[in-house]
Amino acid sequence: MATFFSNQRNSTRTHIMMGVFRKCILLAVGSILFIYLLYIGLNSRTTQFFGRPAELTVRDEHSRSDRNSKSSSELVYPSIASFHDATQQLSTNSCTQQLNSVAFVKTFKTGSSTLASILARYGYERNLSFALPKSEMFLSTTTFNPKTSNLLSMPKPPGFHILNNHAIFNKTGFQEVMRPETKYITILRAPIKTFYSFIAYFQALKSFNFTGDIFSPDFPMQSFLNVVGTKRTFRSGLLHNGQMFSLGFDTYTQSNDEDAVAKKISQLDLELDLVLINEYYDESLIILKKMMCWQFEDILYISNKISGTKYNFPEEHVTHLRKWTAADSAL
């Protein structure tokens, strides 16, 4: 009898182990299939990217005019088919060597902290060199110049591998501290969403002696913008076309100068290798991965500094903000 129950237990145990084994095999096959389908899916979902190399430069003027007619909650980035063409062209350039040097122009409230974390992890795992600030998170709050910046130390030749802290972009200044093969990237976000996020995160109303609910139709939005426009501070620069400000544009005096805005955008087209788009974050990372010849594990991330509160500005505020953020919208 004891032998019978012992055999029965062994048989049951074997049956259970075989069941677990079969489930593990199915789970492994399913995971591989999921990753493959995700990769194919991300390559088929596309958006607009700016900058060099040329195959990443995709513009759609018709879609741009459509975007300008929409409220902040309706902004949609264009040219899905064109972006797919760009990714296909990039795919034909097979990776021959993994690139380890990247300068990230870190814009404010655009998902940049998450991307900076991706770059930081990549560098730490490979013992790469970083351009670090002496204190806080700013390498510069004015146009970057290594000699007058908040840089902790100058690099050993041929330069730093990674720059992923806030610094107002100046290609010449960046090149003085970065390696010759460095890729230059940034990230953009719908301007009105960025404006709100900056207001909320930095409590900017208090900084300019305003109170109240900025999302209320009764809030004096135009008066607030007028006050911000009279200031020449770091925060006022970030509130008035802050993405262009981070990219080295004089938003204090030239935000309403269409020729100056267009000239700066043309310059950035030549100076940047890739522009990521917040609203298409995963697709952007796929392009970054391909450009740098990285692996999928190099672009895995956990989102940082995400607010769970979502608001929409009243339409009368949106009208003011479209004009206020015109340079960022052009970008």
Q: Note the pLDDT tens digit of each residue in 17-73.
A: 555 555 555 555 455 554 544 454 444 443 333 333 333 333 333 333 343 444 433
Mean pLDDT throughout 270-278? Answer: 97
The Cα 168–Cα 149 span in angstroms is: 10
Closest CA to 267 of 196, 191, 153, 172: 172
Two tokens, residue 237: 């620069």
The reply to whether 302 and 264 lie within a common domain is yes
Closest CA to 276 of 268, 285, 264: 285
The proportion of the chain whose per-residue pLDDT surpasses 90, expressed as a percent, equals 60
Residue 192 domain flag: yes
Looking at residue 168, its pLDDT comes to 97
Two tokens, residue 310: 């979502």
pLDDT, averaged across the chain: 80
* 104-117 confidence digits (pLDDT tens): 999 999 999 999 99
The reply to whether 280 and 306 lie within a common domain is yes
Residue 4 domain flag: no
The DSSP string of 212-239 is: S-TTSTTS-HHHHHHHHHH--SHHHHHH
Tell me whether the omega of the peptide bond preceding residue 155 falls within 30 degrees of 0, making it cis: no
Closest CA to 51 of 279, 286, 261, 287: 287
The Cα 9–Cα 19 span in angstroms is: 15
Model confidence pTM above 0.85: no
- Which amino acid is located at 194 in the chain? T
Q: Where are the beta strands (DSSP E) in the chain?
A: 102-105, 138-143, 162-163, 166-168, 183-188, 274-277
* 300-310 confidence digits (pLDDT tens): 998 876 766 66
The reply to whether 279 and 192 lie within a common domain is yes
Mean pLDDT throughout 163-192? Answer: 97
Mean pLDDT throughout 244-267? Answer: 96
Number of C-beta neighbours around residue 16 at 10 A: 10
Looking at residue 313, its pLDDT comes to 86
Cβ neighbourhood burial of 153 (10 Å; 0-12, 13-18, 19+): exposed
Residue 6 domain flag: no
For 280-305, b/e burial (b = at least 16 CB within 10 A) is bbebbbbbbbbbbebeeebbeeeeee
Looking at residue 61, its pLDDT comes to 32
Name the DSSP class of 326.
H
Number of C-beta neighbours around residue 109 at 10 A: 23
The reply to whether 211 and 292 lie within a common domain is yes
CA distances from 38 to 43, 232, 235 (A): 9, 46, 40
The reply to whether 38 and 98 lie within a common domain is no
CA distances from 124 to 70, 117, 301 (A): 42, 10, 15
The reply to whether 181 and 32 lie within a common domain is no
| Selected residue with higher pLDDT from 128 and 21 | 128
The tokens 């991307």 sit on which residue? 115
Looking at residue 4, its pLDDT comes to 41
The reply to whether 235 and 271 lie within a common domain is yes
User: Count of domains in the chain?
Assistant: 2
CATH number, domain containing residue 263? 3.40.50
Q: What is the torsion angle, in degrees rounded to the nearest 10, for the CA atoms of residue 68, residue 73, residue 75 and residue 80?
A: -160
Element (H, E) at 284: helix 281-292
The reply to whether 143 and 23 lie within a common domain is no
Structural domain that includes position 131? 54-330
Looking at residue 124, its pLDDT comes to 97
> Which range has the worst mean pLDDT, 45-54, 88-97, 120-129?
45-54
- Residue count (the chain): 331
Looking at residue 135, its pLDDT comes to 86
Residue 5 domain flag: no
The reply to whether 129 and 30 lie within a common domain is no
The reply to whether 159 and 256 lie within a common domain is yes
Element (H, E) at 26: helix 2-44
What is the SS3 assignment for 135? coil
